[in-house]
Structure 1
Amino acid sequence: MAQSLSSFASLIRSAERSAMHLEMRDAYAVPGEDEGFMAWKQGHTLNPDDRESWWRPWLDLVQEVTAKGVVMRRARIVSEPVSEYIRYEHSFTFTNVAAGEEIRWLPRRQASDLALPGNDFWLFDSRVVQFNIFDGEGRWVHTDQADEPAVARLCSAAFDAVWERAIPHEKYVI
């Protein structure tokens, strides 16, 4: 299923209690990130005091949703040593945290005994799962949604197991 940013924003806005995101790739090839990634490689970093320069409209959406009491948590399973892309992602994660997301990192070797779905996913209110399907190069291909209780339980259990072991962003040093 193809998905627009506005339809994804609507899905997040529909959450009443929680929105959990599990990321398991070491690199993503998101077209909108090319410029920022290149700038980062050349030494550019985001200024914590210049909120206007941060990732919009995503961070505005995070603030909107968390302000209404929705708990947004993101867990990232990463190989170590981390990839260049993960170093880039880590460098600006403070903006997600400032907007209201809780974020943790789990070294992949600590996830070996966990049962995990085959794709990254979002889980909304422990009932609707959106799987994000990427190709081998990290390019987004499409999304699959599921609202079957067994799939939601699997994803919820997987996320909780990762979250329990993962390291809070402010303590994860790369």
Structure 2
Amino acid sequence: MSVPTFSEMLASAAREAIHLEMRDTYTPDDPCYIEWQKTGIADVDAYWHEWREEVTRAVGRGVAIRRARIVSEPVTDFIRYEYELTSPLNIAAGEQVRWLPRSRASDLALPGNNFWVLDEHLVRFGFFGGNGEDVGEELTRDPAQIKLCTAAFEAVWQRGIDHSEYRPE
């Protein structure tokens, strides 16, 4: 199965898109992250404008977008960067975001990779190298994998702390 772009994937969602992130670092060469490392400021309009518009459009047509992040504490610089961008980027676009400290996830059954589930019929796994580099993705419509990912996400979501209340250590 060919893997659509994120834009195509999100445009195909009718009801819900859920996303579980479980890594402590991503894309170390991301220009927005590099700018944030140097200045402490990230220009979300310059780097994330298209993405924010895509999410805003999806939410506007009734797609609920929920993102849960399992994080180690104390958090890495990259997670602190994500945290600082969550309100002006994810929340502003209409996403709901929750955080779960890794120490509170030990008894949860979780897939080995980050994923998106769309409308409970499609899973998009994202693969990352040890340094956080994006190394690929895979789609599946396998009902067992969809069930596993959906159940894992909901378990994390139930324990997660809403972004408005979470304070990273």
TM-score normalised per structure 1: 0.89
Q: Hey, what does 1:24 align to over in structure 2?
A: 22
**Structure 1, gaps ≥5 residues long:** none
Whole-angstrom CA distance in 2 between matches of 1:46 and 1:28: 16
Q: Hey, what does 1:44 align to over in structure 2?
A: 40
* Per-residue deviation, residues 52-90 of structure 1 (Å, max 9, x unmatched): 446121100000000000000000000000001100111
| Alpha carbons 2:3, 2:138 under 8 Å: kept | no
Whole-angstrom CA distance in 1 between matches of 2:124 and 2:142: 11
1:140 CA displacement = 0.8
* Per-residue deviation, residues 111-156 of structure 1 (Å, max 9, x unmatched): 0000000000000001100000111111111111110111111100
Q: Which of 78, 90, 100 in structure 1 is aligned with 2:83? A: 90
Q: Hey, what does 1:55 align to over in structure 2?
A: 48
* Per-residue deviation, residues 1-41 of structure 1 (Å, max 9, x unmatched): 8857xx3211111011000000000000254x2x3222212
After superposition, the Cα gap between the structure-2 partners of 1:121 and 1:14, relative to the gap in structure 1 and judged at 3 Å, is same
Q: Hey, what does 2:7 align to over in structure 1?
A: 9
Whole-angstrom CA distance in 1 between matches of 2:64 and 2:147: 18
Count of aligned positions: 167
**Cα RMSD (Å):** 1.8
The amino acid that maps onto 2:118 is F
Q: Hey, what does 2:65 align to over in structure 1?
A: 72
| Alpha carbons 1:30, 1:140 under 8 Å: kept | no
Partner SS, residue 12 of structure 1: helix
Q: Hey, what does 2:98 align to over in structure 1?
A: 104
**Identical aligned pairs, as a percentage?**
46
Whole-angstrom CA distance in 2 between matches of 1:30 and 1:133: 15
**Structure 2, gaps ≥5 residues long:** none
After superposition, the Cα gap between the structure-2 partners of 1:20 and 1:143, relative to the gap in structure 1 and judged at 3 Å, is same
Whole-angstrom CA distance in 1 between matches of 2:129 and 2:46: 30
Whole-angstrom CA distance in 2 between matches of 1:114 and 1:12: 27
Partner SS, residue 37 of structure 1: helix
Whole-angstrom CA distance in 1 between matches of 2:14 and 2:98: 22
The amino acid that maps onto 1:173 is R
